[in-house]
Structure 1
Amino acid sequence: MRTAYSVETVRAAERELMARLPEGALMQRAAAGLAAACADLIGRVYGSRVVLLVGSGDNGGDALYAGARLARRGAAVAAVLLAPERVHPGGLAALLRAGGRIAGSGTGAGAAASAGVGAVEEAILRADLVVDGIVGIGGTGGLRPDAARLAACVGESGAAVVAVDLPSGVDADTGEVRGAAVRADLTVTFGTHKPGLLIDPAREYAGSVRLVDIGLGDVLPAEAELEALQHVDVARLLPVPGAESDKYRRGVVGIAAGSARYPGAAVLAVSGALRGGAGAVRYVGPAGDAVVSRFPETLVSDQGPAKAGRVQAWVVGPGAGDDASTVAEVLEADVPVLVDADGLRLADRDAVRARTAPTLMTPHAGEAAALLGVAREEVEGARLASARELASRYGATVLLKGSTTLVADAAGGVVRVNATGTPWLATAGSGDVLSGLAGSLLASGLSALDAGSAAAYLHGLAGRFAADGAPAGAHDVAEAIPGAWRDVRD
C-alpha cells in the first residue's frame, strides 16, 4: 500500500528525525537519492547539460547538493537562483566547489536583468535535464511571475524534467493547481508520498513518481491522510468461498435499475454484479426481459424491492429515470445500499443521513457538483475537498469517479485513491458496471470503504485489460473483470 501524509505531518516527522541525526544529514540523504534518480533518467551523466531551478527553501538546497554530485561525475551544471539572497549557502558552495556555476553570470532569475534573463533561458533551452527546486511542499497557489516564466521556458525545451519532492506550483495537500506550475517527467519525493502526487489534477504534473527513503518511516504516524491500494491489499479484501458456501451464504445483491428508456443500464449493472463475488443477483425493475435474455442466472422480480426477497445489499439508480419511489424504498432497507446515477439526483439527503446501514454513493464530477451546488470545474479542481465535503453532508461513503477515483469514508479519516483506470473507461455504461461490481462486494460482507476501493481498483484494471490501447465498450469492461480479479489474486 502506498501512503501519503500531509505537509504538517511530514514536517513534524522531519523535525523529529533531524533531532536524532547530525546536522545536514537528512538533506544529504535526499540529495543522494535525487542525484541517483537524475542519473538514471538521463543515462549518461558525463558531458550532459543540467540546469537547476533553485528557490529559497530546502528543495533548492536538495537541488544544489544533487547538482554538485552530478557535476563531480562530469555534468555541466548551472544553477538559476530565483532568490539569490536567500539561497541555501551550503548547497551553493558545494555546487561551486564541484565545478558548477550560476546561470546568467550570477544575476539569477529574480534579478530580471535582460542579459541574465536571456542567458538563463538559453541555458534551459539547451539543457538535457532541468531540476525543479523552485518551491517546496509548503507552497500554495500558482507560481509567481518570474518562476512562471521559467516554467514556461522549461515546457518549450526538450529537456527531461525532474521535480524535487513535488512539482512547483501544485498543492501538496490537496492536489489542486491554481495557476502556473512545472510539468515534470519524474518527481523524486522524500520519505513518503504527498497527497498531491496521487490526486489529479496535480498528479498529471508529477509524471512518474520515485520515492526515496530518508528514514521517515520510523517517525510517521500509523494512519496516513491518503492510501493507494495495490494488488496485495486488494487481494486481501476479495471474498473467497469456503467449502460450506452456497449462493446465499456468499451474499445476494439486489439491483434496482433501468427503465423503459434505459434498459441497458440494468443489464450492465447486473453484468458487474455477477462478477463481483456475491452468490446471487436479484433484479427489480422494468428491464427484466432484457436482463434475463442476457443473464438467465439472474433472479428477476417485478414486485418492487420490498417483495424481491432477501438481499445483503442493494444497488439503486443506474438508468432509473424519474423513479423516485423505488429509490426511496431501497433507502429504507436495513442493508448496505449503493446509490448511483439517477439515484443520486432522486435520493433525499435527509433519508440518506437517517440510514443506520452503510451507504455508498458513486458520483462522477458532474453529479457531485450538482449535489454540492457548485460548478463541475470546482469539483474537478478540488477533488479531495469535494469528496470529503460530500461524505460529510450525506453521512455516506463517497466514491468520486474520475481519472483518479477517491473513496472518502462517512466517518472521515483516511481517504483512498485509485489510479488503475484508463481514459478508455470514459464510455457510456462503464459506471453502471462499477456500481454492480461494488454492490456485489458490499453483499459479500465488505465495508463501504473496502467495497468501493476494491471495486474501483478491479474496474480500472479491467478497463486496461479490455482496452489494451484501443476503444472498449462497457460490456467489454465487465467481461474483463474475472481476468483482473485473477491478476490481483495471483
Structure 2
Amino acid sequence: MSLTAIDSPWLAAHPLPSVAGGKDKDARGRVLAIGGSAEVPGALLLTGDAALRSGAGKVALATISSIATAIGIAFPEAAVIALAEHDGEIVSPLPDSMQRRFGQIDALVVGPGMRQTDRTEAIVAALIDQCEVPILLDAGAMTAAAALLPGRREVVLTPHPGELARLLDCDKDAIEVDLAAAAHRAADRFGAIVALKSADTVIAAPGDSDCLHYRSGVAGLGTAGSGDVLAGLIGGLLARGAPPREAAAWGVWLHGEAGRRAGNLCAPIGFRAGEIAVHIPPALHAMETRGG
C-alpha cells in the first residue's frame, strides 16, 4: 500500500473543473444538503456556507420544519425546505416534492446535525435509491448507511476514527493503529470514497492500492462543527463537477489550509468552525492562480 501526499504538485496535477468565462450560478453547481435537528439546528448553516465558499453556485437546505424559517433568516443565500419531524428529527418518507428536486441538483450532502436512528436509515436508503448525483454522507447518515452502499462508487464518506470503528464493527484502537489500512478496508466494503478524518487524514478509493494523505498540523481544526464545514466543502466541489476522489482530496486540503489561515489570524486553537469557512475562497484562489 502506497501513500501519496496531497500537496501543491498533486493539486496542480489534478485541477478542479474550471469556472472561468463567467459561468452562471446554475452552471457552477447546485448542492442540496439534508440534515439538522432540534439538538443541532445550526449544523446545516456551516455545511451550506462552505458549499457556497467552495465555488458552487446554489445551495438548498432541507431540515425539520420547526427550525426552517430561522435557518432561512440566518442564511438568506440558501433556499430552505421544511421537512416533517418527530422528536426533533427528520422523519421518512420524504415528500414527493423532494424527488423533483433531485433532478435540479448536482450533488447531495446528507447527515450534518442528524443522529443515527431507524428513521435516518430509512431516509438514507431512499436517497441512495432515488438520487443519481454524487452523494456525501456524514454523521448519522453515514453510520446508518453501513449496509446500503456496496456498488455505488459516487458516494463519499467522511468518518472520524470512532465513526469508522462503528461502521466496521471493530475497536477504535484498531482504526488508529493503521489509518490507511482501515480507510481501504472501508472503501472496499462500502464501494465508496472514504476520507478518514484525523490529525493525518487519509483518503481511500475502492480497489485502489494508493492512499492519499494530508496532515494539516492545525490543532484548532478539532472543534465543534469543523466536520460540517468539510462536508459542505466537499459537496460543493462535487457539484462543480470534480470526481469524488479529487473532490475529497481538494476538500481536505482546503479545509486544512483555511484552518491554518484562521489560526494565523486568531490563535492556534479557539477559532470557531464558521471562521474556517471564511478562509476557503482565498485559499482556493491562491492555489488555482499561483500554485499554492
Report the TM-score range of the alignment, normalised by the length of the smaller protein: 0.7 to 0.9
Instruction: Quote the Cα distance in structure 2 between the aligned partners of 1:308 and 1:434.
Output: 23
Q: What corresponds to 2:124 in structure 1?
A: 327
CA contact (8 A) 1:270 1:291 kept: no
Q: What corresponds to 2:134 in structure 1?
A: 336
Would you say how many aligned residue pairs link Structure 1 and Structure 2? 265
1:234 aligned to 2:30?
no
For residue 112 of structure 2, give the secondary structure of its aligned residue in structure 1. coil
1:453 aligned to 2:252?
no
Give matches, 1:216-235, under 5 Å. 225-235=2-12
CA contact (8 A) 1:255 1:281 kept: yes
CA contact (8 A) 1:363 1:399 kept: yes
Select which of 19, 29, 35 maps to 1:257: 35
Q: What corresponds to 1:297 in structure 2?
A: 77
Change (3 A) 1:348 1:226: closer
Change (3 A) 1:268 1:361: same
Q: What corresponds to 2:99 in structure 1?
A: 306
Q: What corresponds to 1:480 in structure 2?
A: 279
Could you say which structure has the greater relative contact order, defined with CA pairs below 8 angstroms and 6 or more residues apart? 2
CA contact (8 A) 1:421 1:459 kept: no
Deviation readout 1:208-259 (Å, 9 max, x if unpaired): xxxxxxxxxxxxxxxxx22112224325523431325221111111101111
Change (3 A) 1:243 1:487: closer
For residue 150 of structure 2, give the secondary structure of its aligned residue in structure 1. helix
Instruction: Quote the Cα distance in structure 1 between the aligned partners of 2:183 and 2:146.
Output: 18
With normalisation by structure 1, the TM-score equals: 0.52
* Structure 2 residue ranges without an equivalent (≥5): 84-93
What amino acid sits opposite 1:292 in the alignment?
A: G
Change (3 A) 1:233 1:290: farther
Q: What corresponds to 1:390 in structure 2?
A: 186
Return the offset for 1:336: 0.6
What amino acid sits opposite 2:160 in the alignment?
A: H
Return the offset for 1:331: 1.5
Return the offset for 1:348: 4.5
Larger Rg: 1
Q: What corresponds to 1:288 in structure 2?
A: 68
Return the offset for 1:282: 1.4
Q: What corresponds to 1:195 in structure 2?
A: none
Return the offset for 1:485: 1.4
* Stretches (4+) displaced over 3 A: none
Q: What corresponds to 1:411 in structure 2?
A: 207
RMSD between aligned residues: 1.8
**Which shows bigger deviation, 231-240 or 243-252?**
231-240
Instruction: Quote the Cα distance in structure 2 between the aligned partners of 1:232 and 1:248.
Output: 30
Change (3 A) 1:382 1:262: same
**Which shows bigger deviation, 387-396 or 243-252?**
243-252
* Structure 1 residue ranges without an equivalent (≥5): 1-5, 7-224
CA contact (8 A) 2:4 2:211 kept: yes
Instruction: Quote the Cα distance in structure 1 between the aligned partners of 2:124 and 2:258.
Output: 29
Instruction: Quote the Cα distance in structure 2 between the aligned partners of 1:296 and 1:248.
Output: 17
What amino acid sits opposite 1:345 in the alignment?
A: T
1:317 aligned to 2:111?
yes
For residue 149 of structure 2, give the secondary structure of its aligned residue in structure 1. helix
What amino acid sits opposite 2:69 in the alignment?
A: D
Q: What corresponds to 1:268 in structure 2?
A: 46
Return the offset for 1:302: 2.7
CA contact (8 A) 1:318 1:340 kept: yes
